[in-house]
Every structure is written in structure tokens, then in C-alpha cells.
């Protein structure tokens, strides 16, 4: 199958994904490090929704207590709000559920994969470019509002590949961890509770332990249909 930048690809569950090609981009803390990704991939057009995450909870025996569920439902009251109050362990379990349910491959994005989806190739400061955040581009600085925002409500803030809500709404888990006894993991993108300074593409939030849940934590997933999966695995094996 051929994929085009800007087109919306749907999996068997109707979830929407955007195509990100292999190759170099400018990334890192200030967007000036030349980084090259060896394989193309699909990444969620939106963060995983509260509705989809609750479907996972209903379908599995994953440990998620009533107090945690109440927090999720209060902070993300609509099914198309992003899932929040999600730990790294929860996000990984959700990916395993998707694999079992569909027979296809899903995972959290690597930090570099998340960054390329947000930056494009040119090291832009925010998904939409280098102009300062405005509230019609991203959902941020709304701690007093008490809730996340429904996904896709700010199309002007989409990245060059078509991903929405990469800046603001919820911090998003990535696959990466560090050689640290605390089991540090990385979140990207800033949240609805943060000021504009946290929305830059280079910003990172470190969190531990991996079971930690907070109302500003969410995630989106990488999806690899069979053709992309074969190329992806071969490319990383050659590294």
C-alpha cells in the first residue's frame, strides 16, 4: 500500500492515523540536532480518547481502581476527550490489547518519532510552526477550567503531517526510558494545565515510577500495518 503525507489512514477499529516518512529531521531541545529515522510509520492523528481507553478497561482485567476511573471521567467527561490519568504501564497495556484485538502492531512512539510527527523536517518550535501559541491553536493554560478539551477542535494547530493536539491538552507518553533506577519515562507536548512555555516541541517531562498516574498524562500510539511493520523491523535491525 502507498501512503501520502496529509492523508488520514484508518485501522480496523476506525482509529485515525497520519503517515510520517523515514529520513532526517531537526530535533532535540532546540530543534537543531540532525536526527534520522530509518523507517516510516503511522502515528495517531489524535491522542487516544477517553472513550477508547474505557473500552479497553471494560474488555480487560487491567488494574484500574474506581478512584482512578472517577478522576478520568471528571477530567475527560466526553468520550472524545483525550484519555487522562494514564500511567506508562496503562498505555503499554492498551497497546498490547490493541495488538491482541486486531492482530496488528501498535506501540507507544519513540521520543524521536513523536518529535518528527510534531516538528516536520525543519525543526519548528511548535507543531504549527514558530509563532507563539494561541488558544485557537492549542489547549493550554486552562487549569481553572477543570477538564481536558475534546480532540480535534483546533485544526490550525495540526502538524505538517496532520496530527492534532500534539501541543497542549495532555502530556503524551513515549516508549523511551533511561538507565536510571527510578525507571524514568518521557512525556511530550505539554497539557491543558500548563503555560505556553511547556508546549515547545523540545520540551520533555520525566516521570517515575511507570505506574504513576496524573490527570495531565495521556498518550497516542504508533500503528504499523503489515507492510510498514516488515520494513520498520528490517530497518531497525540494520542499525
Could you give the C-alpha distances from 208 to 23, 213, 222, in angstroms and in order?
31, 10, 22
CA–CA distance, 191 with 198 (Å, rounded to integer): 8
Position 111 pLDDT exceeds 90: yes
Which of these, 228, 201, 222, lies nearest to 35 by C-alpha position?
201
Average pLDDT over every residue of 17-21:
98
SS3 18: strand
Q: Residues near 179 by Cβ (< 8 Å), separated by ≥ 6?
A: none
Residue 201 cell numbers, joined: 516541541
On the question of pLDDT at 41 being above 80, the answer is: yes
Q: What is the residue range of 185's domain?
A: 8-237
pLDDT digits (tens, 9 = 90+) for 125-165: 999 999 999 999 999 998 887 899 999 999 999 999 999 99
CATH number for position 157: 3.90.1580.10
Can you give the C-alpha Rg of the chain in angstroms? 17
Tell me, yes or no, whether 108 lies in a domain. Answer: yes
Helices 66-75 + 50-59 axis angle, to 10? 160
User: What's the pLDDT band for 88 if we cut at 50, 70, 90?
Assistant: very high
1 found inside a domain:
no
- % of the chain at pLDDT higher than 90: 91
What is the model's pTM? Answer: 0.96
Beta bridge partners of 49: 82
Per-residue confidence (pLDDT) for residue 146, from 0 to 100: 83
pLDDT category of residue 239 using cuts at 50, 70 and 90? confident
The answer to whether position 93 is within a domain reads yes
Question: 104 with 10: CB under 8 angstroms?
Answer: no
Q: What is the pLDDT of residue 144?
A: 81
What percent of the chain lies above the pLDDT cut of 70? 100
Phi, psi (deg, nearest 5) at residue 87: -85, 170
Of 83, 53, 67, 79, whose CA–CA distance to 218 is shortest? 83
DSSP H or E stretch at residue 204? strand 204-207
- 149-207 confidence digits (pLDDT tens): 999 999 999 999 999 999 999 999 999 987 777 889 999 999 999 999 999 999 999 99
| Residue whose C-alpha cell is 503531517 | 161
Work out the pLDDT band at 28, boundaries 50, 70, 90.
very high
Q: What is the pLDDT of residue 238?
A: 84
The single residue listed with the C-alpha cell 529515522 is: 37
CA 218 to chain centroid, in Å, comes to 7
Give, for 227, the enclosing helix (H) or strand (E): helix 226-237
Average pLDDT over residues 52-80: 97
The single-letter DSSP state of residue 130 is: S
Any idea what DSSP says for residue 62? -
Domain count, the chain: 1
Mean pLDDT score of the chain: 96
Amino acid at each position: 500500500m502507498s501512503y501520502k503525507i496529509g492523508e488520514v489512514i484508518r485501522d480496523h477499529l476506525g482509529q485515525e492515523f497520519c503517515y510520517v516518512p523515514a529520513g532526517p529531521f531537526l530535533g532535540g531541545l532546540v530543534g537543531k540536532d540532525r536526527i534520522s529515522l530509518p523507517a516510516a510509520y503511522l502515528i495517531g492523528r489524535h491522542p487516544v480518547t477517553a472513550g477508547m481507553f474505557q473500552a479497553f478497561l471494560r474488555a480487560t482485567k487491567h488494574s484500574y481502581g474506581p478512584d482512578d476511573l472517577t478522576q478520568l471521567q471528571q477530567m475527560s467527561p466526553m468520550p472524545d476527550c483525550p484519555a487522562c490519568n494514564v500511567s506508562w504501564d496503562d498505555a503499554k497495556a492498551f497497546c498490547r490489547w490493541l495488538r491482541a484485538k486486531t492482530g496488528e502492531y501498535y506501540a507507544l512512539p519513540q521520543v524521536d518519532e513523536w518529535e518528527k510527527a510534531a516538528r516536520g523536517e525543519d525543526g519548528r518550535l511548535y507543531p504549527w510552526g514558530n509563532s507563539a501559541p494561541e488558544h485557537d491553536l492549542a489547549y493550554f493554560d486552562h487549569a481553572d477550567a477543570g477538564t481536558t478539551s475534546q480532540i480535534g477542535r483546533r485544526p490550525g494547530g495540526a502538524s505538517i503531517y496532520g496530527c492534532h493536539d500534539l501541543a497542549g491538552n495532555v502530556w503524551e507518553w513515549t516508549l523511551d526510558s533511561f538507565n536510571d533506577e527510578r525507571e524514568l519515562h518521557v512525556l511530550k507536548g505539554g497539557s491543558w494545565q500548563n503555560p505556553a512555555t511547556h508546549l515547545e516541541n523540545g520540551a520533555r517531562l520525566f516521570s517515575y515510577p511507570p505506574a504513576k498516574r496524573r490527570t495531565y498524562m495521556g498518550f497516542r500510539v504508533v500503528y504499523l500495518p503489515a507492510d510498514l511493520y516488515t520494513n520498520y523491523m528490517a530497518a531497525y535491525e540494520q542499525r
